[in-house]
Amino acid sequence: MRLLGAIFRALWVVAVVAIPSLLLPSASQGSVEFALIIGGIIGIFTFFEYGSSAPGFVDFRFAPPYNRFRAFTIGVQVVAVTLICRSVELGLNDAAILDWAQQAAIALDFEFSPVAMAIDAALKDARFSDTTAILLVYSITTSFVIGVGMTLAFAVLLWVFAWPRDRLNFNLWANLPTFQPKDGTEIPKRLRRDAYFNIILGVVLIYGLPLIPTYGFSWLTVDVFENNQAMVWATTLWAFLATSLIARAAAMLKIARILSRAQE
């Protein structure tokens, strides 16, 4: 069963990586092949990670549905942003997903909104065409709404329901292989500290990543968003990296609470 699960996860990774190149009309044959190669490399890593019975690098590997949530979230983000780009490329201006993205962008256009700030930072490059600018707005908004919405839903589920399910056999080291507390009595405190750090880092990333091209890295903006596949991944990873850190923090806080109660 472990090997079957590892194969399924590896195939899921390959499919998610290949979706933009397979669905976008502007994708070339070379980009499809490149996406399959990248997806295959990541898929092989996923297979060996989940095919092994020993802990590796993935957090909460033995505490579902944490990683299933993350895989599903990035899958939904990639599909949604890809469909937006596809609709614009095909001239489907009355598509429901475009109307939804437009309404969401209007709702999130307020002071200190991470979406508004990301859009302003990205559109400072006047070389963008009107179509590219519209796609940027829709893609940034869609990726953010899906990432934040699903992360909040996941955090609520963690705290409302009994997660992890098998608490008696829950192994902290196996599920957090990079977490190395020095003293067993300090584990809850260390977990909370690391969780708060992840929350802060997630907020910094959601606001800071769009500013990277503005401060000393202008070469990153050279025609990158004129390629819709690059746009899909740039906007998806912008939201996913930040929200996955916050989801990790929610899980660590839940474990810290369980351990604190057990010590009492």
Q: Where are the domains of the chain?
A: 54-263
**pLDDT of residue 7 exceeding 80:** yes
Going from the C-alpha of 27 to that of each of 3, 18, 136, the distances in angstroms are 33, 11, 18
Burial category of 222 from C-beta neighbours within 10 Å (exposed 0-12, middle 13-18, buried 19 and up): exposed
CB 73 within 8 A of CB 146: yes
Pairwise CA distance, residues 256 & 192, whole Å: 6
**Secondary structure (DSSP) of 109-129:** -STT-HHHHHHHHHTT-TTS-
The two tokens of residue 164 are: 């992890």
Residue 110 has pLDDT above 80, yes or no: yes
Does pLDDT of 222 surpass 50? no
Residue entry with tokens 């746009």: 231
- Residue 94: DSSP 8-state: T
The whole-number average pLDDT for the span 121-129 is 72
Residue 206 exposure: Cα atoms within 13 Å on the Cβ side:
25
- Number of Cβ within a 10 Å radius of residue 21: 24
- pLDDT grade for 216, boundaries at 50, 70 and 90: very low
Q: Residue 164 has what DSSP assignment?
A: S
Radius of gyration of the CA atoms of the chain, in A = 20
In our burial notation (b when 16+ CB lie closer than 10 A, e otherwise), range 47-61 reads: bebbbeeebeebbbb
* Predicted confidence (pLDDT) at residue 217 exceeds the cutoff of 80: no
Residue with tokens 């201006």: 93
Average pLDDT over residues 208-230: 65
